[in-house]
Amino acid sequence: MTASGGLVSELVLCGLAVLLAVAVPSRHRSLASGAASLALGVSGVFTGVAAMAAPSATGLLLTLPLPVGTAVSPLILAPTPMGGLFSVVVGAVGAVAALYGIGYAHGPAASRTGWSAYAVFLLGMLLVTSAGDVLTLLLGWETMAIGSTILLLAEHAERPAVRPAALWYAVMTHLSFLALVIGFALLAHGAHTTSLAGIADAHLAGPTAVAAFFLLLVGFATKAGLVPFHVWLPRAHPEAPSHASAVMSAAMVAMGVYGIVLLTHDLLPRISSSYALVVLALGVVSASYGILQASVSSDLKRLLAYSTTENVGLAVTALGLGMLLTNAGQPDAAAVAQVSALLLVVSHAAFKTVLFLGAGSILKATGLRDLDAMGGLVGSHPVTTWTFGVAALGASALPVTSGFVAEWALLQALAHGDGRSDTVLAFALPVTLGLVALTIGLGLLTFVKAFGTAFLARPRSAAAASAPPEAQPGIPAAAMATAQILGAAAVVVLGLAAGPLATACAHVWGSNAAVVAGLGGVRLASVGILDPVSLTLLAIGLALPVGLLVLVLRRRVPRRETDVPWGCGGVRTSPRMEYTATSYAEPLVRVFGEALRPERTLEVAHTEADHVLESRVAFAQEVSDLVEARGYAPAATWLNWLGDQARRIQNGSIHRYLGFSFAALILVLVVVTIP
C-alpha cells in the first residue's frame, strides 16, 4: 500500500465505520463498526510505514479541495517520515482498542454516537500526523477534540462525575486550539504561506516568531498533558469508556509530543534552541510531578492517567535534552536523546494501552476502580493478570520490555553528555539525571502497588471476591482477551527488537544514531550497546539450573497446609491484615508531604460502657492536585466573579445595547483609519 492509497483508505474506512454505526442494529453494531474502526487503525499503520519508508519527504501525496466557496487553499495530506511513525502509533493503538471495544463497549459507549465518535476520533489523529499545511493540521486537531469529547460524555447520564470531567476537558482542549490558531496565524503571516514545509523554509525569527513559539508550545503541551496544563487529564481519562481511555492516553497525548517535535525540529529550530531549557524543565517537572501523584493514588484509572503525565514528561525531557546537547556541539549524545524521545513515545503507547484495557476488564467485572477494594483477581482473571503484569513491567522500565529500552537510552544520553565546557549543561545534566532516576524509582513502586493490590493476596471487598471469570465463550470475551494479549506481546517484542526499533526512530530524525547489533540489539551513536535478546538468553541459561533444582527438591519435600498459630503466611490471614494501596503509599506521602500536602481525617468512636475504650477508628487521607487547587481553582473563582459582574451590564435596556453597538462601531472606525 502506498502512502497516498493509505490516506484514501483512511477516509473511506472512517466513513464506513460511521455508516455501520448508524445503520446496523444495536445487537451487531459493536462488531460491525468496531471491525471497520479496527480496519481504519490498520490502514493508519500501513500508511505510516509507507511514509517512513519513503525516500523523500517532499512532494504532495494527496490534496483535497474544500467543498465550500472560499479562497482557502485545499487540504494537503503529506505525511513525513516523522508523521509516519506517529501514524503507526495511532493506528496500532486505535486498532487494538477497537478490537477490545467490540467486547467491552455496552450501553452508551456502544451507541450510534459512541462508535461514530470513535471512528472520527481516530481519523482526526491520523489527519494530524499526515497534515502538510496549517489548515489540515488544525482541522484534524479539532476533529480529534470533538470525537474525544463525545466519547468522554458517553456515560454522562449514568455517572455524575462525567460531566465536570468533560467540562474541564472541553475548556482545556479548546484553549489549546485557540493557542494553536493564533500561533500558526503568526507563522503563516510571517512566512506568507500555510504550508508547513514553506514555514520551515522561511527560517522565521524575531519577536513574532518567539511569540508563536510559546503559543504553540502551550497549545501542544496542553494536549500532551504536561504540567501545569495537565489538570484535564486525571479527570477525563478515568471517566471515559476504557477503550477510549486507552486511545486518549496512549495515542492522543502523543499528538502533543508530535506537535512539540514539529515545532522544535522543523518549524522554528533556531528559536527553539534558545529556549531548550524551557522545554527540558517542562518535561522534567511533568515527569516527577506526574509519577509522584500516581504513586499515592488509589484510583486505578486516575493512577494510570497521572502515569501518562510522567511518561510524556520523560519524552519531552529527552527532546529538551537533545536540543541542549545540540547547542553544546555534542551531536552523538543529542542524537541518542532524540531517539530515546521517540522510543519513549512508542513504548508508552504499547504498555499504557494494555494497562487501561486491563483496568477496563476489572471495572467491567467488579465495578471497581478503587485499589483498596480489589485483590484476588489472579484467580478469576488470569489473562488480565498476566497482560497487566507485563505492561506494568514495561511501565516500570524493567527488562526485557520496551520501557526498559527507552529509559535506558535516555539515561545513556544523560550519562554521556559533557557539561564541562557548557555552564547550562553543567547545571542541567546532574539535576535532570537525579530527577529522572527518582521518577524511574517511583514508577517501579507505583506499579508494584497497582499490580500487587489489584491482583494478588485476598479480595478486600465482596465485589472483588465474586468477580465473574473472564474466560467465557463468545465474541466479546475473545475480543477483549485477544486485544490485551496483542498489546502485551507488543510490549515484549518491542523490548526484544531494540535494534530495528531504535534504527527506525533514528531514520525518521534523519540521522544514523542507531544501528542493529547482536541478536536484535542496538548500538547508539558511539554511546552504548544493548542486546536484550542475548541478555534474555543469558538469564534463561542461569535460571534454568536453579529452576530444575527447585523442582527436584520440591518433589522430595511434600507440601503441607497448616493453620500455624503464629500466622506468618498462615491460611487464617484476613484481608484486613494486608497492605492496601493507601497504606503502601503512606511512606511516600510522609517523605513528600510538603509537595503533596495531604488532607487527613481521623474519626474515633468510643464504647457506651467506657468512654476510654474505642469501638471504631476510621482514618481517611486525600491527596489533591496542588496545581489545580492553588492555581486553577482561584482562577475559576475569579472568572465566576467576573461573569457575575458582567451580568449587570445586561439589564434589558435596548438603549444601553444600542450605545454599546455605537461605541464598538466608533472603535472599529478609529482602528481602521489609523495609518
- 310's grid cell: 510522567
**pTM of the predicted structure, to 2 decimals:** 0.91
Q: Mean pLDDT, 10 residues at a time, over the chain (675 residues)? A: 78 91 87 92 92 63 58 76 94 95 81 90 94 91 93 85 90 93 92 89 89 95 92 90 92 95 91 91 94 90 93 95 90 90 95 94 89 86 92 91 91 87 87 93 92 86 82 80 94 91 90 80 80 83 85 73 50 69 82 78 73 69 79 83 79 80 88 75
DSSP-derived letter for residue 648 is G
Cross-strand pairs, 522? 516, 530
pLDDT of residue 566: 45
Handedness of CA 272, 275, 281, 282 (dihedral sign): negative
With vertex at residue 53, the alpha carbon angle to CA 51 and CA 55, rounded to the nearest 5 degrees, is 95
Q: Which residues of 127-147 are buried (b: 16+ CB within 10 A; e: fewer)?
A: bbbbbbbbbbbbbbbbbbbbb
Cα–Cα dist 367/273, whole Å: 49
Q: Which residues of 42-70 are buried (b: 16+ CB within 10 A; e: fewer)?
A: bbbbbbbbbbbebeebeeebbeeeeeeee
Place of cell 535460571: 543
Cα–Cα dist 553/545, whole Å: 12
pLDDT of residue 175: 92
- 102's grid cell: 467490540
Question: Which amino acid type is present at position 496?
Answer: L
Cross-strand pairs, 599? 622
- 15's grid cell: 466513513
Cα–Cα dist 227/293, whole Å: 12
Burial of 256 (0-12, 13-18, 19+ CB in 10 A): buried
Cα–Cα dist 583/553, whole Å: 37
pLDDT of residue 635: 83
Place of cell 500466622: 567
State the DSSP H helix or E strand holding residue 603, giving kind and residue range, or none if neither.
Answer: strand 599-606
pLDDT of residue 569: 52
pLDDT of residue 58: 45
pLDDT of residue 280: 95
Q: Phi first, then psi: what are they for 24, rounded to 5°?
A: -80, 140
Q: Which residues of 604-618 are buried (b: 16+ CB within 10 A; e: fewer)?
A: eeeeeeeeeeeeeee
DSSP 174-203: HHHHHHHHHHHHHHHHHHT--BHHHHHHHT
Cα–Cα dist 335/510, whole Å: 10
Cα–Cα dist 300/581, whole Å: 10
Cα–Cα dist 523/362, whole Å: 40
Strands 521-524 and 614-622: unpaired
Measure Cα distances from 447 to 393, 426, 638 in Å. 8, 33, 38
pLDDT of residue 71: 55
- 463's grid cell: 465485589
pLDDT of residue 59: 41
Cα–Cα dist 272/280, whole Å: 11
pLDDT of residue 562: 52
